């Protein structure tokens, strides 16, 4: 299993008041899955995604990512796990504004110690895969929201992670651009075997997932496999020059 979480609880405390975000969640994710955590605001989906991504700690329960028990790792070891095994896509893109698209994609590889020539070659190849090879020298503010999110996806996969975590990746995109992005990630999942886990309330993302896990009030309300919507034809080939 890429992810094996058992009995995950998360309680936040503020001024003596406790708020329970997760109430004993189990989640097992196999390699190659294309899964979505869905639910309304406050359901616990982003909290669970952050715990899986070693960005937050559970109050109780255990979690393994690619076989490593996270509770026994130091802060430095957790940072190394995130660097080597995880890719992240955020709804606000989180690109470095003074870097070009290529430099943003190279950034994680630079932290990994990949030599300059090799990371430049890989960054350009990955940008081509997401339809942005012609925008490699553009900075984020010179690109549309959809193009910036594609750069974020390229950055997430360039380091060859075991698992990509995407938190509301379509939240700031129009529906056509969202379909293009979803089709791109679905194609990367199929062609490269990259495991994706989303948190979302977007029906487009929910419809495209092969596994849909619904959370409600910090509990798993349902967990089922489904026949995904296919947005192929609305993916990378359309977005490079269209502003999508």
Beta-carbon contacts of residue 106 (< 8 Å; ≥ 6 apart): 119, 120, 123, 158
CA-CA distances (angstroms) from residue 154 to 14, 19, 135, 181? Answer: 37, 36, 13, 11
- Of 2, 26, 29, 23, the C-alpha closest to 11 is 23
Beta strands 211-216; 219-225: pairing state: antiparallel
pLDDT for the residue numbered 92: 85
Q: Is 143 left (phi over 0), alpha (psi -120 to 50) or beta?
A: beta
pLDDT of residue 244: 55
Per-residue pLDDT of the chain (244 residues; tens, 9 = 90+): 999 999 999 999 988 899 999 999 999 999 999 999 999 888 999 999 999 999 999 999 999 999 999 998 999 999 999 999 999 998 888 999 999 999 999 999 999 999 999 999 999 999 999 999 999 999 999 999 999 999 999 999 998 899 999 999 998 889 998 999 999 999 999 999 999 999 999 999 999 999 999 999 999 999 999 999 988 765 444 444 445 5
For residue 181, the domain's CATH number is 3.40.50.300
- For the chain, the domain total comes to 1
Q: What is the pLDDT of residue 241?
A: 46
Give the angle subtended at the CA of 229 by the CAs of 227 and 230, to the nearest 5°: 115
Which residues span the domain enclosing 52?
3-242
């Amino acid at each position: 299993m890429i992810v094996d979480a058992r009995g995950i609880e998360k309680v936040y405390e503020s001024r003596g008041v406790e708020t329970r975000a997760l109430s004993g969640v189990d989640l097992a994710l196999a390699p190659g899955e294309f899964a979505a955590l869905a639910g309304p605001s406050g359901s616990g989906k982003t909290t669970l995604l952050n715990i899986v991504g070693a960005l937050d700690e559970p109050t109780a329960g255990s979690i393994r990512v690619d076989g490593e028990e996270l509770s026994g790792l130091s802060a430095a070891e957790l940072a190394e796990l995130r660097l080597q095994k995880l890719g992240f896509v955020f709804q606000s893109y989180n690109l470095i504004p003074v870097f070009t698209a290529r430099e943003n994609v190279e950034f994680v590889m630079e932290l990994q110690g990949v030599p300059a020539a090799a990371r430049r070659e890989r960054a350009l190849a990955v940008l081509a895969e997401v339809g942005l090879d012609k925008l490699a020298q553009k900075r984020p503010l010179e690109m549309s929201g959809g193009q910036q999110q594609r750069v974020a996806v390229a950055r997430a996969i360039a380091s060859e992670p075991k698992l990509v975590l995407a938190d509301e990746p379509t939240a700031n995109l129009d529906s056509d651009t969202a379909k293009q992005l979803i089709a791109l990630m679905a194609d990367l999942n199929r062609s490269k075997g990259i495991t994706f886990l989303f948190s979302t309330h977007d029906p487009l993302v929910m419809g495209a997932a092969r596994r849909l896990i619904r959370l409600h009030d910090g509990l798993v309300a349902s967990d089922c496999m489904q026949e995904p919507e296919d947005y192929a034809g609305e993916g990378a080939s359309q977005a490079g020059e269209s502003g999508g």
